[in-house]
Amino acid sequence: MNSTLKFSYDLGTIFALSGTALIWFIGIGGRDLYILPLICWLPFAGWRLWQDKSVFTINWPSERPINQALVYGKWALGIFFLLCCLRATLCYLSFQWSIWDSGIFSNIIYNISQGELRWSHYEVHPWADHFTPSIGILAPFFWIYPHFIWVVLAKILSYTLVPLGFWQLAKYLNQQVERAIVLTLLVSSAWLLWYKPTVASLWYEWQPSCLAPPVIVFCFLWLEKKEWFKFSLGLLFLLGLKEHMGIVPLGFGCYLVLQRKEQFWTGLVLIVLGLTALFAIIYGVMPFFRGNQPSWSVPALDFLGNIPGKVTYSWKLLFPLAFLPLLYFRIGIMAGPAIGVNLIAAREAMRSNSYHYDDVAGTLLLIAVLLILSTQDWKKHLKFITNRTQQIFLIAWFVGTSFLIPSSIGQELKSAWPTAEHFEIHQELSEVKKQYPLDHGVAVQSSLGVHFQQREVNYIAGSNQYPCGEKQADQFHQLALKRNYWLLAKGTNSFMVENLDNCVRSLEAREDFELVDGYDYILLYVNNLSK
């Protein structure tokens, strides 16, 4: 073995990069302090280059350290899983899981567990909003105990299974096990730690597409192995997770057509399947279940709007991956449809790298990178570049990627930590649930939604133009007016309510809303209009 990447053992580089990693992981001094030691290190790196010395060296470590790295990687993955479970629990205790989007789907899954396809927040069939039949696999867990934690645990398990899929794929693509180990560790670290499109999706609210990444990885493996039965089952599950999942077979089909000419017709079939699924579900199935309702979940298209923003989005997707999916576009094309969906959407949030919109695109891009590093002779291009130029490119990539790095698990744990007030709110919520028949229907502040696993839950909305307790901007926002009990908590976030203090004042000014005394941290109102 004679070619992989490791840092030269120079104390300045080791201290600077170790300090950067440690500060980033722990979150000392805020979100961005980790950049400071990196900036201090740059003059040192420039001085090394000026003297024509290497900052990084390229060589393979021996077989034993690689095998040890695999063992450490397994332990690290297990610890990461436990830390993510801890974060999810802390977010639940600190009311950081919102009714949008986590509460939406936990309500749907709860109702499925009760034998009913219904979404109470809009009081419609759930497939009118998103086509999600595959999330029904979580319903049996609600038979054991109806709790939101099941869906969060499923997401964490999904994301931690992806490195196992990378490992199986790397072993299949590489005859040398040591090479497969190195590439698995590299791509898996990107998936869980430093590639923002995928890590931001992990930290975001629960979405059905969060169950897709491991299935996508294994589907690609089954496609490579031509295990068609497994591949078909995986695709069927994916198409039932979200209405846009046709982009997966579409991307696989484009890859086969461009890269695997011997599988041209298979690729063509997958392209037709993907396009058919996309259009049939979005413009056929969902409108059928919506009936005469407006199309609220399908974003408007904007092909030519905000070109600079779209270029910036593409840069943030590809720069951390050294533009490999673009340079080897016949392989990278598998992520093209997923990226294209975000590029043509009018909704700017879909290009922010801060929500869940890159979960599929990020998965496919990392599969492409693993495939490129495993099968393409990318090292042949290095002989045309001087060593100093290679070092400059490597430093530029490292620094640029560091500026784009997402929040670490340590930072997430700190931000999720509950306060004493949060525990008081939990205590009063428990008392309210025992004393009042809230299971018959309740309207809640967004942050309280996941704490009510029951058939009838609606969210409270309000703004300066449409005050709480009055008619709202649309028919869905005012469904809360049907509920006898309204529940708010000032110590938690109030998404969908523009100003919580104004909302409370609006309710207090109305004679038909009666505040129940005896609670210090929550506000329970009886809505006499609902009777």
Is residue 316 situated within a structural domain? yes
Is residue 36 situated within a structural domain? no
Is residue 147 situated within a structural domain? yes
Is residue 49 situated within a structural domain? no
Cis peptide before 101 (omega within 30 of 0): yes
Q: What sign results for the dihedral spanned by CA atoms 102, 26, 20, 38?
A: positive
Q: CA 209 to CA 232: how far, in whole Å?
A: 18
Is residue 50 situated within a structural domain? no
Quote the domain boundaries for residue 88.
61-376
Is residue 33 situated within a structural domain? no
Q: In Å, what is the CA distance from 489 to each residue of 40, 253, 307, 464?
A: 45, 50, 42, 19
> Do residue 350 and residue 429 come from a single domain?
no
> Can you give the pTM of this predicted structure?
0.92
- Tell me the pLDDT of the chain (531 aa) as tens digits: 444 444 444 666 777 888 888 888 888 777 788 888 888 888 888 887 777 677 766 555 555 667 788 888 899 999 999 999 999 999 999 999 988 888 889 999 999 999 999 888 888 899 988 999 999 999 999 999 999 999 999 999 999 999 999 999 999 998 888 889 989 999 999 999 999 999 999 999 999 999 999 999 999 999 999 999 999 999 999 999 999 999 999 999 999 999 988 999 999 999 999 999 999 999 999 999 988 777 777 778 888 888 999 999 999 999 999 999 999 999 999 999 999 999 998 888 888 888 889 999 999 999 999 999 998 876 676 666 667 777 888 888 888 998 899 999 999 999 999 999 999 999 999 999 999 888 888 999 999 989 988 888 888 888 888 888 788 777 778 888 888 999 999 889 888 888 889 889 998 888 888 999 989 999 999 988 765
491: its two tokens: 């110590």
> Do residue 310 and residue 448 come from a single domain?
no
Which one, of 350, 328, 346, 330, lies nearest residue 338 by Cα? 350
Three state DSSP letters for 70-139: HHHHHHHHHHHHHHHHHHHHHHHHCCCCCHHHHHHHHHHHHHHHCCCCCECCCCECHHHCCCCHHHHHHH
Is residue 415 situated within a structural domain? no
> Do residue 429 and residue 371 come from a single domain?
no
Is residue 252 situated within a structural domain? yes
> Do residue 218 and residue 102 come from a single domain?
yes
If one counts the domains in the chain, the total is 2
